[in-house]
Amino acid sequence: MTVHEIRTRQGDSKRGDASDGAVLAEAVGGRLSRVDGPAKITGAAKYAVEQQLEGLSHAVLVESTIAAGKVRSIDTAAAESAQGVLLVLTPDNVLRLNTATDWLGTPPPDAPYCPLARDITFSGQHVAAVVAESFEQAVAAAALVKISYDETPAIVDLDDPKAGDGIPVDTMTKEWGDAQAAFAAAPVRICAAYNTPREYQAPMEPHGLIAHWQGDRLTVWEPSQWLDGMARTYAEWFGVPFDNVRLVSPYIGGGFGSKAFAYGYGAVAAMAAKMLGRPVKLAVTRPQTFTAYGGRAATRQTVALGADAEGRIQSIVHRGVNETSVDGMWVEPLGSVTSIMYQTPNFSSRQNVVRVNTVVPGALRAPGENPSAFGIESAIDELAYEVGIDPLEIRLRNYAEQDPEAKKQWSTRQLREAFAVGAEAFGWSKRPREPRSMRDGNQLIGWGVAAGTYPVRRAYGEAMVRILADGSVEVESSSIDMGQGTYTILAQTAAETLGVPAENVVVKLGDSRYARAGVTGGSRLAGVMTGAVHKAATAALDQLVGLAISDPNSPFHALQANTLVVANGRIKSPRGDGPEVSIAELLGSVGRSHIEAMGDTTPANWTAEDRYKNNTTITMALPHTEGDYSRHSWCAHFIEVRVDEDFGTVRVSRVVSALDSGRLYNPKLAESQWKGGIIMGIGQALLEEGIVDRRHGRIVNNNLADYLIATNADIPDIEVISVGIPDLHSSVLGGKGVGELGIVGVAPAIANAVFHATGKRVRDLPITLEKLI
């Protein structure tokens, strides 16, 4: 397989605007277009499951058709005798695998792991798999597998009478003051329940992999947000050394949190490949993407706000619950935004989880913060109307000057600025207070506002930078690019640090053989990896200048210089005296084929075990409140909706969002990420909902025709404005999280706008016409 690499290309924009004036597009802060764009739009990009291997076979999963019970028998005779079938896997003939460590580093139990189930806990669970010479043969044979069950009653969702109140999650409890008493004594009280349904990531590229064993070494081509973490899981499953597993993820067609872990279907494919002694490809079908891993859990929150007559909050009492699976645990942290967005002397937040017959839920863009913001940002809007204050003014009146929970100063918090700039650009001052006071013919018009936040999740990573004999530069890291622009910003970082054109930088990502990196999730990758590349490039530059000064064969040796300047790929004296040569000419003169340096952001006293844990779990990540500061990104969304008075249909007609993500490494790419989050927020507010057949516990809209996500026709022009300033408490180069932030607060801003348009408060997402008529 050829090494996947991206060489930067000049975009149409040579220069971009920055706070300190115009900067070259190639430098950090410039608006260089995504360098992986040409490969994607021309079809040259080869994704993980598109690899062509000799002897490739194909696996297809067989899923349970009940939500609870046991497999009584599996008849595989017809499937095994079907044309082209190589293997039929069931719980009876699988290899014995080990249970792997989870992403938190929890030691696994001394018990086997079987990716095919006999005890059924949700509809769509993997029960068997068929491997054949061709995909079509595998599909046909899978239909011949006959499974009988002993079915038992299932708990289908949070509304099921059998669900109960759930299990308390003690770690989610946050309390200070006496919130209950303060609420009871408050002159103004608001208490309401806010619900969000199951939601799914629905990436354009479905999940899948190709697994290939060569002796005791396993190579897996799989779309991955965390190559080293997934490699660790495969290694532990099969009991081989970590270094014996190679993960390759050249491109990723969307993940949104769903592609950070190795799942059961991956174990099935790798197991089949080992048993057959040939590579196996398993591509998860679109319906299976709704059950092969988990989307966002359904949530239910009650938010009680007690305030004085001027709308100043005296108490917040928050109670939340999210669904989890019968045999797994997922906590959607519903108090995460509730506890920090507004100042209050009294606070109480508690959370339960309810076990239902579903796949274990998982991370979906801004897990926790997203539904948490829906509750608190809807509730404070209700409080504004109760006390007769503008919804923007009440947010400013309760502005938290420091982290109310951690009792620490913000590293930076440009939320006031976001409110001011966003309101000015939107024209908020023209908004009439009363609902149903704006219309255009039969369309009711409403304006809503909401705030959002996401913590700065800091971690560590490493990168290799090489200066080659021809003057070009290579950057290597096992981090990935799933569309957020990693190739581009790392090229810009190396180019700026080394003084070379960005078009001379080749970035190599998506291979676990490269310098190690942690998970791409939680908006941490850009801050971590720009820091690592900057350090590696600085070390390589120091070597280059040192050679130029000290090597007897260098043209600068007789200059007696203490330092040299490298710019545009050329080396010269800062005084302008002496020679000027290219990097390639210097390396040729001193007889060097390359210079290379490893850069990492890890503490100097870390052991090899610490580094392994950092790359394969999240146990070494720094809390966002570590030290003297509380670190977060912030945003304010101003949204206009139009509601058809006759039919109750809702359309978002205008969006202005102001966001604080610190320093932007590439504004063009950051703006794209923000807009992507806002678009997902529009889908969440108006369209997305996993619908369960209550008779059988099945997801009935498990396809992209029936699971509604926003399309171009649903999205208006979106204006995004950066109000951030560099935050060196959050990252080496001053950036904060971008990708997760944009979605937080969009849904409540839309719900608040719908109330302003119609006078009807919708507290259950999505906002559909039957809830308005």
| Cα of 565 vs its chain's centroid, Å | 39
For the chain, percent of residues with pLDDT exceeding 90: 94
pLDDT in tens, 147-162: 999 999 999 999 999 9
Query: 324 near 355, Cβ under 8 Å?
Result: yes
534 within domain boundaries: yes
Last residue of a domain, one of 616, 638, 653: 616
Q: Is 59 helix (H, G, I), strand (E, B) or coil?
A: strand
CA distance 325 to 443: 43
Q: Give me the catalytic one of 640, 671, 689, 740.
A: 740
| 682 and 605, same domain (yes or no) | no
| 536 and 482, same domain (yes or no) | yes
Q: Which residues pair with 635 in a beta bridge?
A: 452, 659
Note the pLDDT of residue 496: 96
CA distance 234 to 219: 10
| 387 and 501, same domain (yes or no) | no
CB-side neighbour CA atoms (13 Å) of 684: 34
Q: If residue 24 lies in a helix (H) or strand (E), which one and from where to where?
A: strand 21-24
DSSP letter for 730, please: T
CA distance 158 to 339: 24
| 523 and 660, same domain (yes or no) | no
Q: How many residues does the chain have?
A: 773
Note the pLDDT of residue 29: 94
CA distance 689 to 167: 25
CA distance 508 to 3: 8
CA distance 200 to 298: 11
CA distance 230 to 238: 13
Contacts of 629 (CB under 8 A, 6+ apart): 408, 409, 410, 411, 729
470 within domain boundaries: yes
30 within domain boundaries: no
CA distance 542 to 463: 16
309 within domain boundaries: no
Note the pLDDT of residue 26: 78
CA distance 370 to 334: 8
Q: What total of structural domains would you count in the chain?
A: 2
| 486 and 604, same domain (yes or no) | yes
Query: Residue 385 is encoded by which pair of tokens?
Result: 């109307």
Using 70 as the pLDDT threshold, list the residues of the chain that sit under it.
1-24
Contacts of 109 (CB under 8 A, 6+ apart): 99
CA distance 773 to 764: 15
Catalytic (active site) residue 740: yes
| 433 and 490, same domain (yes or no) | no
Q: If residue 489 lies in a helix (H) or strand (E), which one and from where to where?
A: helix 486-498
CA distance 534 to 169: 41
| 669 and 536, same domain (yes or no) | no
DSSP states of 527-560 as a string?
HHHHHHHHHHHHHHHHHHHHHHHH-TTSTTGGG-
Last residue of a domain, one of 616, 632, 657: 616
Residue 255: name the closest of 633, 521, 523, 478 by CA. Answer: 521
Note the pLDDT of residue 560: 81
| 683 and 640, same domain (yes or no) | yes
601 within domain boundaries: yes
Radius of gyration of the chain (CA): 28
150 within domain boundaries: no
Contacts of 11 (CB under 8 A, 6+ apart): 25, 31, 32, 33
Q: Is 288 helix (H, G, I), strand (E, B) or coil?
A: helix
Query: 105 near 617, Cβ under 8 Å?
Result: yes
Residue 440: name the closest of 639, 643, 652 by CA. Answer: 643
pLDDT in tens, 583-592: 999 999 999 9
CATH number of the CATH domain containing 709: 3.30.365.10
pLDDT in tens, 666-690: 999 999 999 999 999 999 999 999 9
655 within domain boundaries: yes
CA distance 296 to 372: 13
| 578 and 489, same domain (yes or no) | yes
Last residue of a domain, one of 616, 639, 665: 616
| 418 and 408, same domain (yes or no) | yes
At residue 235, φ and ψ (nearest 5 deg) are: -60, -40
433 within domain boundaries: yes
- Residue 522 belongs to domain spanning: 459-616
Helices assigned H by DSSP within 388-483: 391-397, 415-426
Note the pLDDT of residue 16: 32
Helix (H), strand (E), coil (C) string for 112-179: EECCCCCEECCCCCEEEEEEECCHHHHHHHHCCCEEEEEECCCCCCCCCCCCCCCEECHHHCEEECCH
Q: Is the pTM of this model over 0.85?
A: yes
| 485 and 555, same domain (yes or no) | yes
| 413 and 521, same domain (yes or no) | no
Contacts of 444 (CB under 8 A, 6+ apart): 436, 438, 642, 643, 644, 645, 757, 758
**Edge-to-edge strands of the sheet including 473-476?**
6-7, 505-508, 473-476, 462-468, 594-600
